Amino acid sequence: MAQKEGINTPVVVTLAAISAAFLIVTIFSVEAWFNYEVQTERESMWASLGDPTAIDTRIRQEREIKTQNEKVISIENAMRQLVQSGGKVPWQTKQPY
């Protein structure tokens, strides 16, 4: 039995398509891994550079706000008051703080 001479075009096209798909998946995977590592490194750098006093102050500021009368209220209480007033801040409703 004699063999055909020439290129088996369907096999070549199939192998090229599979190789291209594998290459694209590999590129996206490496890029995602690189971005994950960059984000992890940034987070660790920020954590190591943080000033404990500044961090504690920031946390306290996020938990509390002051009204104009210097009365300290929690963020949750402030949000509740804002919802009860229909989204208007106290100086718009002319109500006492």
> Helix %, strand %, coil % for the chain, to 5?
70, 5, 25
* Per-position b or e across 50-86, b if 16+ CB within 10 A of its CB: eeeeeeeeeeeeeeeeeeeeeeeeeeeeeeebeeeee
Q: For 30-49, what is each residue's pLDDT tens digit?
A: 999 999 999 999 888 877 77
The answer, yes or no, to whether residue 97 has pLDDT greater than 60, is no
From CA 90, how far away is CA 97, in angstroms rounded?
6
pLDDT at position 1, please? 54
pTM of the model: 0.43
